[in-house]
Amino acid sequence: MATVLAMPPRPSAASRMPSAELRVRLKTSTLLRRMIPTRLVLRRAARRAGEIWDQSPEGRLDARTVMETIVSGTPRSGEIEQLARQYVIERALDEAYTWQPWPTPEIDAASAERLRAALGGNRGVLLSSCHLGPFFMSVPAVATMGVVPYTVAGPWFFETPSHDHWGRRLALWQKRSASRMVLSTGSFPILSALLARGETIFLFFDMPGSHETRFLGKTAMLADGSARLAVESDAIVLPLRSRSIGHRVSLDVGAPLDPRQFAGARELHAALARRHEHWILESPAAMADPRSFGWGAGATPLEWSRPTRPAGSPPGEQPATR
C-alpha cells in the first residue's frame, strides 16, 4: 500500500514497442498510422467489416451469439440481426481506433460541469465505466482536467509485451495509459485508502463477482466492489461512457451518485447497474463481448454466471473484490 500511495502524479513509465515480424509491424505501426487521416481509416474499416458480415457465416454466427448474450431479456431482444451486423462493424472500428492517434474526447457542458464539481471537491471520486465504446479513451479525457486517476488492472496488464500482435497492443496500452496502475489482486483496501484521502480511481462495473444483480434483463453475478468502496470511503461515484460519433469520440458523465443518499452498498450497486444498463441498451452493438473480459462461458443469453476461475485476460480489468 505504501508503494501505491507514494506513486507520483504521472502515469508509469511506458513499455517500448516490441519487435515483431514485418507484416505485424506494418499493421501496428503508430508512426505510419499518423500519416493516414483517422476518418479514412475508419471508413475503410467499416466497409471491410460489412464485407466480412456478407461473406463469413462464422462471423455472423459469433456476432449473433454476442448480441443474444447482451440483449436477451431486454426491450431490444427483437433486433438481434441488425445489432449483430453493427457489432461486427463496431469491433472493426475499435481495432482501427486502437492504432490511430487517440483524439481527446469531447465533453459536453453538463458532463464537464459534473466532472469538475466532483474532482474539485474534498471527497474521493470513483469513476465507473463499462466495456462500452472506446472505453480506453475515458481516462485520458479525465486527465485533461488535471487529475491522474488510479486504474485497477488485472495481472495481464503488467506483463512484458510479447513479440507479436498482442504484445504490441499491450505495449501501446501501457504507453498511452494516463493512469497510475494498481494490480487488481488484493486491491480493495488500497483503493479504499486512496478514496478516503480524496483520490480518484477508475473501475469497471461490468465484471464478474458474487453479487446477484438484475442486469440487462437477466441475472448477472456482478462484482459489487464499486458500491462497497464508495460507501466505505464516502466517495462520490461518477458513471462514465465513451462513445464514437463518426471519427470523433465523446465522453458522457452521468449524474453523480452519493453514497450518503442510499441505504447502503446494495442499493447503490442497483442504482449504478440501472445507469449502465440504460447506456448499454442505447448502443448494445458498441459493447465488447462479455466472454472476452472475464465472463468466459459464464455469459449466456439466459444469465451471466461467475466463471469457475477468475479470468485474467484482456481487455477488462479484474474486479477489486469478489
* One-character DSSP codes across 53-79: HHH-HHHHHHHHHHHHHHHTTSTTGGG
In a domain, 168, yes or no: yes
Q: Given this model, what pLDDT does residue 317 score?
A: 41
Q: pTM to 2 decimals?
A: 0.89
In a domain, 274, yes or no: yes
Domain count of the fold of the chain: 1
In a domain, 59, yes or no: no
CATH number at residue 286: 3.40.1130
DSSP 287: B
Q: What are the pLDDT tens digits along the chain (322 aa)?
A: 666 655 655 555 456 789 999 999 988 998 888 899 999 999 999 999 999 999 999 999 999 999 999 999 999 999 999 999 999 999 999 999 889 988 888 899 999 999 999 999 999 999 999 999 999 888 888 888 888 899 998 898 989 999 999 999 999 988 888 888 999 888 999 999 999 999 999 999 999 999 999 999 999 999 999 999 999 999 999 999 999 888 888 999 999 999 999 999 999 999 999 999 999 999 999 999 999 988 999 999 999 998 875 544 555 443 333 3
Q: Given this model, what pLDDT does residue 248 score?
A: 86
Q: Given this model, what pLDDT does residue 141 score?
A: 83
In a domain, 79, yes or no: no
Q: Given this model, what pLDDT does residue 24 score?
A: 92
- DSSP percent split of the chain into helix, strand, coil, nearest 5: 50, 15, 35
Tell me the residue range of the domain where 248 lies. Answer: 2-13+105-304
Q: Given this model, what pLDDT does residue 66 score?
A: 97
In a domain, 74, yes or no: no
In a domain, 40, yes or no: no
In a domain, 225, yes or no: yes
Dist. CA 220–CA 278, nearest whole Å: 16
In a domain, 94, yes or no: no
